[in-house]
Structure 1
Amino acid sequence: MSIVVTGATGHLGHLVVEALLARGVPADQVLATGRRTDRLEELAGLGVRTAQVDHDDPTTLDAVLQPGDTVLLVSGSTPGARMDQHRAVIGAATRAEVGHLVYTSATRADDTDLVLAPEHAQTEEALRASGLPVTVLRNNWYTENYAADLERARQSGVLAAGAGDGRVASATRADYAAATAAVLADPAEHAGRTYELGGDSAWDYDELAAAMGEVLGREVTYERLSADAQGAALRSAGLDEGTTAFVVALDQNIAGGALDVVTGDLARLAGRPTTPLVEGLRPLVG
């Protein structure tokens, strides 16, 4: 039996593999899967087994999953396409009679207006219908998501957003990876559980601007934008209508409190406090 990490060639999946090894899981018990052969070669250098897998081609999944495996389904990154990919993994896991499925979902997936949530809620429903032992990890925002905002703030001294006074309980990918590895290493302990994962505290955008200023060594101020003003600014910057609508909706979700969930689950699973905002931003400074 293996711990199978799907999406291991992405940022979070790669960190999960590293976190499993750091916990003492034998490398030969970890199977890292993904599309990118170059990234799989990097993972193989850690001693783990690897397999090239395409979630759009279920036969590649059938070739690697085995009865009793513990499988991490890292959610897809392409809205509109991820649901079919998730169903492919769940179907292959069901056919293989794996021992446990762990899924990286979204905050309050089944009880929120968060623009990202519907496909995650549908995936959670499909997981329940599979009949397999399941653990759901509802990940809040990644601090690394602010890398582009940080670079713009470096140049302009301004953090412009439509998030109003909303708060975000972000944490670093490494924080989430540590918690995920803890679940994968002892899946029976977490069977049937849904965890709301996020940072130990929720900050607002004035605090985000201050944290950016600290790591950049310059003053950064938060400019509150209306939805209309934000949309106009994004379109003038060259974003298409679909992307513009998504970003505006997301910031409106944040303003409404969609990402302010603080439960302590992430720190408890990781076995340590989550990374403070300033420290999470520091590695993003190029």
Structure 2
Amino acid sequence: MSVRLRNDAIYPTGDEATLTASLVLSAAAEPTQSAMSKPVVFVIGATGSVGSATVKTLSAKYADKVEIRTGVRNPKKAGELKSLAGVTVVKAEMGSTELETTLRGVNTLFIVTPGVENRAELAIATATSAKKAGVKYLVVVSVLTADNLDTIFGRQLHKLETEVKALGVAYTILRLPFFVDNAWAFKDTIKGAGAMYNPVDPTKPLSPVVVADVGNAAAAVLADSATHANKTYIIISDRHTYGDMAAAFGEALGKTVTYNRVTYDDAKKAFMGMGFPEWQVHGIMELFKLMDAGDPVISTTDVGDYQKITGETPTSLKTWVAQVKAGFE
């Protein structure tokens, strides 16, 4: 059985996951006079899937409007980011005591919440340093279930949202669900056996988001943060079932793709076997069970926030599958 989620800050995964400047600055570097002519947007957690997608969109669409800085733990490993037009790579670590210096001169900070157990504390420390540095706007990744305190992820991110709002700095919260891109977990079994394995009822709807859509929405907010101050958005791309996903892959690949429901115990063992920490596996199982229970937050149909922010239609499941089908053949 192959079951794997990719998640950048959350269910998001937090696996938070994979995916991502022409100049590397030291933490104490001051912006040049030319850079000061544009507002500075800083993305911390820039080498994960959400951070990377956001920086790519900022570079492609808004480099003439904002100065783009990306914070990474090891700038030497940020080759993809360095290749993007208008992007500057900066050494920065979530929760570091040096951030107050690093973030001086920054107008808007995007905190791509990490996928570690103390992520709320790290993100809160980062937001606090940003306030001390004079950052005017905070954009923070949260989860769709942040109001559900009966869940691990909900408790973590509810705490983060509460603390960010209490700082007295203008903010935007981006609540994200599962990623459609987590379907890459099924690549080997779809290619080899025409099969998907998961514990969720294939008839129960969920409302995930395509990572590229997250980057598109986040970049739009960062480029015009004042318009979105003190707002909380839910970013989803489409509403479908896992049965719909199997059918979409079957149609795109021209073969039968079956969905095979496994037990929660087997799913948990599979995740643990792939190295996921136990706390995160429990959180993922909680979300799967909410899907099975038909939780309305998990299966929302409202894509209005994405359209409001970007002026675009989000990526449908069939469109995403068509874009990636070569990797599943």
- Please report the TM-score for the alignment, with normalisation by the length of structure 1: 0.88
**Mapped pair 1:65 → 2:65:** no
Aligned to 1:88: 125
Distance 1:236 1:180 in 2: 31
Please report the TM-score for the alignment, with normalisation by the length of structure 2.
Answer: 0.77
Decide whether aligned partners of structure 1 residues 237 and 102 sit closer, same or farther in structure 2, where only a CA change above 3 A counts: closer
For residue 184 of structure 1, what is the aligned residue in structure 2?
222
1:94 Cα deviation after fit:
1.4
Q: Who is 1:17 aligned against? A: 55
Please list the CA deviations of residues 212-249 of structure 1 after superposition, one character each: whole Å capped at 9, or x if unmatched: 223333211122334345446x3896767826544433
AA matched with 2:100: D
Give, as a single letter, the amino acid of the residue that structure 2 aligns with 1:196: I
Name the residue aligned to 2:310: 270
SS in 2 for 1:63: helix
Q: 1:207 matched to which residue of 2? A: 244
Contact 2:142 2:174 in 1 (8 A): yes
Per-residue CA deviations over 1:255-280 (Å, capped at 9, x if unaligned) read 22352122221133222111111332
> 1:133 Cα shift?
0.5
CA–CA distance in structure 1, aligned partners of residues 106 and 62 of structure 2: 20
Aligned mate of 1:54, from 66, 72, 93: 93
Q: 1:171 and 2:171 equivalent? A: no
Contact map agreement 2:121 2:160 (CA 8 A) in 1:
no
Task: State the partner residue of 2:146.
Answer: 109
The aligned amino acid for 2:298 is L
1:196 aligned residue:
234
Counterpart pick for 1:153 among 173, 190, 200: 190
Q: Secondary structure at the match of 2:214?
A: helix
Q: RMSD across aligned C-alpha pairs, in angstroms?
A: 2.5
Instruction: Work out the number of aligned pairs and report it.
Output: 282
Contact map agreement 1:9 1:35 (CA 8 A) in 2: no
Q: Mean alpha-carbon deviation: is it higher for 65-74 or for 180-189?
A: 65-74
CA drift at 1:115: 4.2
Deviation (angstroms), 1:112: 6.3
**In structure 2, what is the Cα distance between the partners aligned to 1:212 and 1:187?**
38
Tell me the SS of whatever aligns to 2:90.
strand
**Residues 140 and 259, structure 1, Cα contact 8 Å, conserved in 2:** yes
Query: Match of 2:307, as an amino acid?
Result: A
Which amino acid counterpart does residue 90 of structure 1 have in structure 2?
A: A
Contact 1:21 1:27 survives alignment (8 Å): no
- CA distance in 2 between counterparts of 1:130 and 1:236 reads 37
Query: 1:115, 1:284 → 2: CA distance?
Result: 33
CA deviations 1:156-190 (Å, max 9, x no partner) are: 22222221132122221111111111111111111
Q: Verify the 8 A CA contact 1:171 1:280 in the aligned structure 2.
A: no
Q: Look up the match of 1:218.
A: 255
Unpaired runs of 5+ residues, structure 1, are none
Q: Secondary structure at the match of 2:102?
A: coil
From 299, 317, 323, give the equivalent of 1:260.
Answer: 299
1-structure distance, mates of 2:162, 2:134: 18
**Which residue identity is paired with 1:197?**
I
Contact 2:148 2:155 in 1 (8 A): no
Aligned partners of 2:306, 2:149: CA distance in 1, in Å?
A: 20
